[in-house]
Amino acid sequence: MILQPDLTFLDLRMPQPTKHAVMIIGGAEDKIQGKQILQTFFQRSGGEDSRIAIVPCASREPAIIGNRYETIFSEMGAKAIEVIDIQDRAQGEDPAWLGYVERCTGIFLTGGDQLRLCGLLADTPIMEIVRKRAQLGALTLAGTSAGAAVMGLQMIAGGGSGEPPNRALVDMTLGLGIVPEVIVDQHFHNRNRMARLMSAVASHPDRLGIGIDEDTCALFESGGVFQVIGKGTVTVVDPAEALFASFPTVGSTDPISIHNLRVHILSHGDRYDFHHRRVMAIDN
């Protein structure tokens, strides 16, 4: 599984700035004031020694989005920044970009359309390098909004809100498989997506649902542990001990029954062991 080295852990309330990580961000992260999440990405990528790749291809305005993040990380003092603006799959084999991704210390996937992002990157040489290096802990990989949605092997492509959990509420497809065990939903409480995530995990009960609020990040490190940073919450929807789910037998718009579903609400500093499906204790 990913990021397997040791489980030696850090300060319980704030993540160490020197270890690489996978950062799954719920979207709308602070870009103006304290920039806590972006600062964490910058430090985890090496601080002033960081070589950052910005991948804005989920967006329909990649030049604008890429330039926005390039300015932010440049002002923080990054050593090198490259905007990898992939507009067709053939560019995923570009030797110059492949070389940069092999050397860089941080990669940032921007928001936009997760289907567009996967369509351009899935099964390309550049994505294989990104996945391998992220899973080995050789760089810091961050994705916000659409860039967060693609992190699991199964991905929420779209859906609705404001209804009970049901089969028609969520559209599922394949993601990029950076953290294969999870299904990620973003802008979570901000857009009332609890029922959507519950519907997703009912359809894939071998996965762990993670709903991430705006300006909030689930930061994955070694040993299968993630830590929450930011202003909102991370909602964990765990079907591992569910005793019954009616998902396979009900009509597409009928409400789903799920018995013994476990839900955790985690806030800044909380940690969760997703291999063992348990919240980790905090020493006060």
Residues annotated as catalytic are 145, 163, 187
- The 10 Å CB-count burial string (b at 16+, else e) for 7-24 is eebeeeeebeeebbbbbb
**Contact (Cβ atoms closer than 8 angstroms) between residue 152 and residue 181:** yes
User: Which tokens in the block code for residue 209?
Assistant: 């649902």
**Can you tell me the distance from the alpha carbon of 12 to that of 8, in angstroms, rounded to the nearest whole number?**
11
Q: 195, 164 in Cβ contact below 8 A? A: yes
* Token pair listed for 123: 């099964």
Residue linked to tokens 């490190």: 221
**Distance from C-alpha of 191 to C-alpha of 160, rounded to nearest angstrom:** 10
For residues 208 and 151, give the distance between their C-alpha atoms in angstroms, rounded to a whole number: 12
Contact 215, 254 (CB under 8 A): no
Contact 148, 24 (CB under 8 A): yes
Q: Give the strand pairing for 140-144 and 106-109.
A: parallel
Nearest to 165 by CA among 233, 258, 241, 249: 258
Q: How far apart are CA 278 and CA 238, in angstroms?
A: 10
